[in-house]
Chains A and B, each alone.
Chain A
Amino acid sequence: MNALRRRSLDLLWPVLAIVVALGLWQLLTASGFFRPDQFPTMSATMVAFTDEFTSAKGWLSVWATLQGWFLGLLIASVLALVIGSALAFNSFAFRSAASVIELFKAIPAIAILPLVTLVLGSTLDMKVFLVAFGIFWPLIIQVIYGVRSMDPTVLDTAKALGVHGARRFLVVTIPSAAPYVATGLRIASASALILAVVAEMIAGADGIGRQILMAQNGGMTSYPRMYAYILMSGALGLTLTGAFFLIERKAMHWHESQRNITSNEEKPAR
């Protein structure tokens, strides 16, 4: 009984918080604390949100953003997985490449956006390239880390059993590195969304980012629409991160790093 009550209280708090936040938004804007040319009212934003996302127009922008996000993520993760595990197996190769990887990782990917726009134009290709370039470097570090942290006993066992070549890569290497790769992918997914939105906002490729900027250029009357798209980008981030999080939990339940988390919720994951 007590546990049940605490559970429902746990659920009540967040709901209450959201209601209070929305109410505060409405209060501050309707009372004139924020002028309408600074911040639209909550109700107007909600109306704009329903307008945009009950027609195909809003969803087409979401789709355009998701395309760039997905293709960039796919290309970067395949490349990082293949090159990363190749580098990780050879200490010399890894040590040689480390400085180059650190150098490229330090570049804010946005820096190359104007150059990529010059070469590829305001296209989907441009968006995909920018996303893939931006997330490849952190991802490959994560892959190398995962492969190198493999238990040597596991590798020796595989060798003794005569498992080698592509089979060893698929059956031993990838599963061992999987938790690190999964974490890397979840972080990469968030960065990929940011980069896709930026590519749309600055280079003008189709998608949510361009809609936000266009609404801002449209002046005060279209501000509710701007916030509707901002809310949508947040919802997209929430969905994607949440999905990766769930997949990570479900798919990695056998790995010791996840076993520790589920058996001892309060301990940090390290």
Chain B
Amino acid sequence: MSDTIARVPQQIEPNTEQILTRTTPRRRASAGALLRELVVSLWLPVVLFALWWFVSSTSTSPFFPPLSRILEQWWSEFIIGDSVHHVFSSLQNFALGYVLGALIGIIGGTLLWRYRFLRQGTNPIVYFLYVLPAPALLPAMIALFGIGQTRQVALIAFGAVWPTLLNTLDGMRGIDQVKFDTAKAMRLGPTRTLFSLVFRGASPQIAAGLRASLQVALILMVVTEMVAAKEGIGYFILQAQIVFSSVKVWAGIIMLVIIGTLLNYLFVFIEHRVLSWYYRSRALGNS
């Protein structure tokens, strides 16, 4: 019972795409069907966007300026203006922190899976750090690392570690024992077993953990920039709020929406490339 560290089932958190593939077995679609699918999935965002545009066009509310002005501001700040460096600063912190956290998570998860005493010993501490709201550590990170970039990267990495670590561990523990016996019978060495059986077998769930870590890292990227920072999208938005410039706040939010969406799509794209064998085998099993 005390060995239940791995029961943090984030893996049953689906996304809409999974719901679609689950209910409609994928067939080779004709061009017409593809077009219809595209129209069905895009009409609502377009309508909402148009609605926002027209309803806000005559708005005089200080908080909800016309969408045209927001987009103008966004264009002049981030496309032709010099606020682009905020975006680069954010992305740099995010990339460093996320990669560091993911690596520590995967390596740590593997070690915990391999050594039972380590798993049992660190169980309560790992669980405590996992449920601890990571932003609460931000002031502590400032005390430890000063107000520079180091503490931003450190906090992003810290938050990104736990979902990946727990899912890695859970995925590895879920591998069928028969496969290990087979590997033994085939006289695979420990290194080959690790790379061609353990990592591969656990990879779908490691991916689920990495996806959850991505969300955490995105949130922490913004939070770290809002406290004692001098650069970044979060800093940009907070500064705009302090001078009550709601148009600038909106422009910053638009930029963040674009960053968040692109990063998510990038992740899904890479995941499908790397795990194409897994999705194919699952699709076969479903139909």
* A238 in contact with B13 (CB, 8 Å): no
Whether the Cβ atoms of B133 and A197 lie closer than 8 Å is yes
When the two chains form their complex, are residues B48 and A16 in contact, meaning their CB atoms are under 8 A apart?
Answer: no
Interface residues of B in 104-142 (CB under 8 A from A): 117, 120-125, 127-129, 131-140, 142
Stretch from A47-55, A136-144, A153-161 contacting the other chain: A136-144
Q: Which of B183-191, B245-253, B269-277 contacts A (4 or more CB under 8 A)?
A: B245-253
Does A230 contact B226, Cβ atoms closer than 8 Å?
no
Contact with A193, one of B10, B133, B221 (Cβ below 8 angstroms): B133
Report whether over half of chain A's contact residues are helix, strand or loop; otherwise say mixed. Answer: helix
Instruction: Of the listed stretches A75-83, A96-104, A165-173, name the one at the interface; the rest are far from the partner chain.
Output: A96-104
B133 to chain A: which residues have CB within 8 Å?
190, 193-194, 197-198, 233-234, 237
Q: Measured between alpha carbons, how far is A99 from B1 in the docked complex, in Å?
A: 41
Bound complex: CA A107 to CA B219 (Å): 9
B40 & A95 in contact (Cβ 8 Å cutoff)? yes
| Minimum C-beta distance from B14 to chain A (A) | 5
Chain B count of residues within 8 A CB distance of the other chain: 80
Residue of B11, B22, B140, B218 near A108 (CB, 8 A) is B218
Give the Cβ gap from A264 to chain B, nearest Cβ, in Å: 11
Once the chains bind, are B63 and A187 in contact (CB under 8 Å)? no
Does A62 count as interface, using CB distance less than 8 angstroms? no
Select which of B140, B222, B241 is within 8 A of A110 by beta carbon: B222
- A226 and B137 alpha carbons, distance in the complex (Å): 9
CB contacts (< 8 Å) of B2 on chain A: these are 10-11, 13-14
Q: Is B23 an interface residue (CB 8 A)?
A: yes
| 1/0 contact string of B16-33 vs chain A (CB within 8 Å) | 101110110000000000
Q: How far is the CB of A94 from chain B (nearest CB, A)?
A: 8
The answer, yes or no, to whether A151 is at the interface (CB within 8 Å) is: no
Within residues 160 to 203 of chain B, which ones have a CB less than 8 A from any CB in chain A? 170-171, 173-174
Chain B residue nearest to A20 (CB atoms) is B121
Q: Which of B121, B221, B246, B264 contacts A17 (CB 8 A)?
A: B121
Known A10-B1, A13-B117, A202-B223; judge A114-B238 contact (CB<8 A): yes
- Chain A nearest CB: distance from B86 CB in Å? 13
Q: Which of A39, A141, A208 has the most CB of B within 10 A?
A: A141
Q: A112-B253, A148-B23 are in contact. Are A227 and B44 (CB under 8 A)?
A: no
The answer to whether A212 and B136 touch across the interface, beta carbons within 8 angstroms, is: yes
Contacts of B103 in A (CB 8 A): none
Contact of B136 with A115 in the complex, beta carbons under 8 Å: no
- Chain A residues contacting B43 (CB-CB under 8 Å) are 96
Known A111-B222, A208-B136, A226-B139; 4 more pairs at CB < 8 Å: A21-B125, A101-B16, A209-B136, A213-B227
Q: What is A's interface to B at a CB cutoff of 8 Å?
A: 10-11, 13-14, 16-18, 20-21, 37-39, 91-92, 94-103, 106-115, 117-119, 138, 141-142, 144-145, 148-149, 180, 183-184, 187, 190, 193-194, 197-198, 201-202, 208-209, 212-213, 215-216, 223, 226-227, 229-230, 233-234, 237-238, 240-241, 245, 266-270
Q: Would you list the 10 A-B pairs with minimal beta carbon distance, nearest first? A: A216-B139, A237-B131, A114-B241, A268-B174, A234-B132, A106-B260, A98-B16, A13-B120, A111-B256, A10-B2
